[in-house]
Amino acid sequence: MNTDTSSRRAFLKTTATASIFLASAPAVISAKPNSKIGVACIGVRGRGNSVMGSFLAEPDCEITHICDLRAN
């Protein structure tokens, strides 16, 4: 395996994770104590469907967005 590719891949993964965290930080900080947590589900087939069901069972969670690459 080319080490340049894997280090670039690791860099992009880390950068993407950090940017998602930083982008969501203001929403977390400004959330009211009694407000529900909004959850977006991406890829809801198989395991994703099970995870989505777990979020639906939580009284403090609300699914706000659902996305899947396949239409059916």
pLDDT the model gives residue 9: 79
Radius of gyration of the chain (CA): 16
Closest CA to 31 of 8, 54, 66, 62: 62
Q: How far apart are CA 42 and CA 67, in angstroms?
A: 5
**pLDDT tens-place string over residues 10-19:** 877 788 777 7
Q: How far apart are CA 36 and CA 11, in angstroms?
A: 33
**pLDDT tens-place string over residues 38-62:** 888 887 777 778 888 888 888 888 8
pTM: 0.46
Domain residue spans in the chain? 1-30, 33-72
User: Which pair of tokens denotes residue 67?
Assistant: 């996305």
C-beta separation of 44 from 66 below 8 A: yes
